[in-house]
Amino acid sequence: MHPVAELIYYCGTMDSGKSTLALQTAHNHRSRGREGVIFTSKDRAGKGLISSRLGLQSAAIEVGPELDIHRFVVDQLSIGSRVDYIICDEAQFYEPIQIDQLARIVDGLGIDVYAFGILADFRTKLFPGSARLVELADRVNTLQVEALCWCGQRATHNARTINGVMVTEGEQVVVGDTNTAHEVAYEVLCRRHHMRQLTARVSRAGHTSSEPLPFNS
């Protein structure tokens, strides 16, 4: 008896190794002779690419808002292509209807779907794609690689910064990175420092005095 196909969502903050795990998952399946399709959306490396901060990279199908993922997979099967598994990176950027299509692929076609993404945006609001995945996925797994806040605590939130200062307003999707010198960037923070809007740069600015603390002997 074949195991029942599943829709599994692996989620975490930025810097938690989502794309690395997506590429490793694809490699593991290919090494066992399985064939699959890799999807992504708005990767920092460019359109139609999935990349990790470890330097790994692979071609992928770019998911735009108009792509019918279920129809794409059915078309692949109809021309004789094998699709044993599906990798969906940056799944937070998918439309909710596209997440429904992934569920149809699992239930109707019996194909495992592994989705990877960020749960919440810089305002701590769920991305629509992630919200729908939480509602529909057979399993939601938090990535075990812990990103760290500048203070050394586990990072649980993504902050958008402009010149190192955290902002809480703006468009939900602005593609950026955590290791960039660009004006708009991202930083992972623990909840305490996210709530206080205390980024690494702001923290350093607040501790620049060279005077010793006034301890009494």
What domains are there in the chain, each with its CATH number?
1-145 (3.40.50.300), 147-208 (3.30.60)
pLDDT in tens, 171-182: 766 665 545 555
Contacts for 58 with CB less than 8 Å, ≥ 6 apart: 23, 26, 38, 49, 50, 51
pLDDT in tens, 54-107: 777 888 999 999 999 999 999 999 999 999 999 999 999 999 999 999 999 999
The pLDDT score that the predictor gives to residue 34 is 95
pLDDT in tens, 131-167: 999 999 999 998 877 788 989 898 888 888 888 888 8
Whole-model pTM over 0.85: no
Q: How far is CA 150 from CA 90, 155, 190, 191, 193, in A?
A: 24, 9, 8, 12, 9
pLDDT in tens, 94-125: 999 999 999 999 999 999 999 999 988 888 88
**Over the Cα atoms of the chain, what is R_g?**
20
Catalytic residue IDs: 90
